[in-house]
């Protein structure tokens, strides 16, 4: 009985050894010195133009903006504009009743003619000493007063025509024909919007990097977002003691009138442009304060710590840690360790679509 049992045990061992020895040799493709082979996708770093950008909230302002008012009282007899109309400097906007002013003008002209005639007679009499110097002086003063009165009457008459002080777009109409218009009362607004000013605040730590001529991009909020480009034109002269920010003014071309004065804008300011290495952001892993990637060398994964720079549209700048020849893992790095065997797969869809965002600098919150 015992002999039969030992024979059975030896047979089982022999069958197991035979099965092990008959395993296919290519099964090693899925096994390695440290276990299962990890399938990964890789890319190589690219050299690209890197831009350091700062995001801020801005407000659009018209290059020139004014409330159109009358300088004198009067009744409106005609309105020469429509709401939203484009006008040029000198275009008539509103006409007031001129009858009283025209009468005053006629009186002033008559008084001037009389004063001039009296002065001419006085000049003739002065040659024969038939008039005293005091009388001549009185006539000279009267002539000056008559001329001033005529200028005043002419100015009052001219002020009854309200005209555009500069080129621009008119706003809503606030008056009607036949209404009494008081001096200083709002008629409409006028804004010059072909070139818009955009003001925004920048933290004081970036003051040394600011200068006129730096490029900016602005975007409106909403479903139909408008994006325009411009440049910094002026820097404020004071830092706000409460917010510790400096006001920056830029100018943006607005040929299609897509920006409006007072509009909220997202501003992206380019602080610096340089050439550097970039990799897909999806390749970067973080543990605590350390950023790192895995690179492939001789079929094995290797963990490489990185110093990162700016991020934009799904890509990140590598300041230190990689070269152009490195093969960087972009998929399959979860659970990977240095020394693990890997197999590189080609996949045209390995790169993720970048989420729409504005560039910021690594290591700091540059969004205001």
C-beta atoms surrounding 173 within 10 Å:
16
- In sequence order, the β-bridge partners of residue 168 are 87
Residues 192 and 65 sit within 8 Å (Cβ to Cβ): yes
Tell whether the model's pLDDT for residue 39 goes beyond 60.
yes
Q: pLDDT tens digit string along 163-197? A: 999 999 999 999 999 999 999 999 999 999 999 99
Q: Is the pLDDT of residue 368 over 60?
A: no
Pure H helices in the chain: 2-21, 99-127, 133-158
Task: Kindly report the backbone phi and psi dihedral angles of residue 285, in degrees, each rounded to the nearest multiple of 5, phi listed first.
Answer: -115, 155
Residue 30: per-residue pLDDT: 45
Mean pLDDT of the region 33-49: 83
How large is the average pLDDT for residues 147-156? 89
What are the chain's domains? 30-51+275-361 (2.40.420.20), 55-63+195-273 (2.40.30.170), 71-97+161-184 (2.40.50.100), 98-159 (1.10.287.470)
Q: In sequence order, what are the residues at sequence separation of 6 or more whose Cβ sits closer than 8 angstroms to the Cβ of residue 99?
A: none
Task: Confirm if 214 and 268 have CB atoms less than 8 A apart.
Answer: no
Q: How far apart are CA 284 and CA 287, in angstroms?
A: 10
| pLDDT tens figures, 268-318 | 998 888 888 999 999 999 998 899 999 999 999 999 999 998 887 788 999
Higher-pLDDT residue of 136, 345: 345
Sign of CA dihedral 235, 237, 242, 244: positive
- The radius of gyration of the chain from alpha carbons, rounded to an integer in Å, stands at 42
Bigger pLDDT: 76 vs 5: 76
| Contact criterion met (CB below 8 Å) for 169 and 86 | yes
In whole angstroms, give the CA distance from residue 357 to residue 335. 29
- What is the rounded distance in angstroms from the CA atom of residue 161 to the CA atom of residue 52? 53
pTM to 2 decimals?
0.65
Contacts of residue 16, defined as CB under 8 A and 6 or more positions apart, other chains included, come to: none
Angle in degrees, 0-180, between the axes of helices 99-127 and 133-158, rounded to the nearest 10 = 160
Pairing of the two strands 186-203 and 46-69:
antiparallel
pLDDT tens digits, residue range 319-348? 999 999 999 998 988 888 899 999 988 887
Q: So what's the pLDDT on residue 16?
A: 61
Mean pLDDT computed over 204-208: 92
For residue 48, is pLDDT > 60? yes
> How many whole angstroms from its chain centre is CA 143?
60
Confidence category of residue 199, pLDDT binned at 50, 70, 90: very high
Distance (Å, whole) CA 5 – CA 226: 87
Q: Reply yes or no on whether the pLDDT at 135 is more than 90.
A: no
């Amino acid at each position: 009985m015992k002999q039969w049992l030992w024979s059975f045990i030896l047979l089982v061992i022999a069958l197991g050894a035979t099965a092990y020895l008959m395993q296919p040799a290519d099964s090693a493709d899925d096994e390695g010195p440290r276990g299962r082979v990890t399938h990964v996708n890789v890319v190589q770093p690219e050299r690209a133009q890197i831009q350091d950008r700062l995001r801020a909230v801005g407000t659009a302002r018209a290059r020139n903006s004014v409330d159109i008012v009358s300088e004198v009282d009067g009744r409106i007899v005609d309105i020469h504009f429509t709401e939203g109309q484009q006008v040029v400097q000198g275009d008539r906007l509103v006409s007031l009743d001129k009858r009283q002013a025209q009468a005053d003008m006629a009186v002033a002209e008559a008084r001037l003619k009389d004063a001039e005639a009296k002065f001419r007679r006085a000049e003739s009499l002065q040659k024969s000493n038939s008039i005293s110097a005091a009388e001549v002086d009185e006539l000279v003063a009267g002539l000056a007063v008559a001329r001033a009165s005529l200028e005043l009457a002419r100015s009052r008459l001219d002020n009854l025509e309200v005209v555009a002080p500069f080129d621009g777009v008119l706003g809503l109409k606030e008056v009607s024909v036949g209404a009494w218009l008081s001096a200083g009362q709002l008629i409409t607004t006028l804004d010059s919007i072909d070139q818009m000013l955009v003001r925004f605040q920048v933290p004081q730590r970036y003051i040394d990097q600011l200068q006129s001529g730096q490029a900016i991009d602005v975007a409106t909020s909403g479903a139909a977002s408008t994006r325009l480009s411009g440049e910094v034109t002026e820097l404020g002269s004071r830092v706000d003691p409460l917010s510790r920010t400096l006001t920056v003014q830029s100018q943006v071309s607005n040929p299609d009138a897509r920006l409006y004065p007072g509009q909220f804008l997202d501003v992206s300011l380019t602080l610096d442009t340089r050439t550097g290495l970039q990799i897909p952001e999806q390749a970067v892993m973080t543990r605590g304060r350390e950023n790192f990637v895995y690179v492939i060398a001789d079929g094995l994964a290797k963990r490489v710590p990185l110093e990162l720079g700016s991020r934009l549209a799904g890509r990140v700048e590598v300041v230190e840690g990689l070269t152009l020849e490195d093969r960087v893992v972009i998929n399959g790095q979860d659970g990977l360790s240095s020394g693990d065997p890997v197999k590189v797969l080609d996949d045209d869809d390995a790169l993720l679509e970048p989420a729409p965002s504005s560039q910021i600098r690594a290591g700091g919150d540059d969004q205001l």
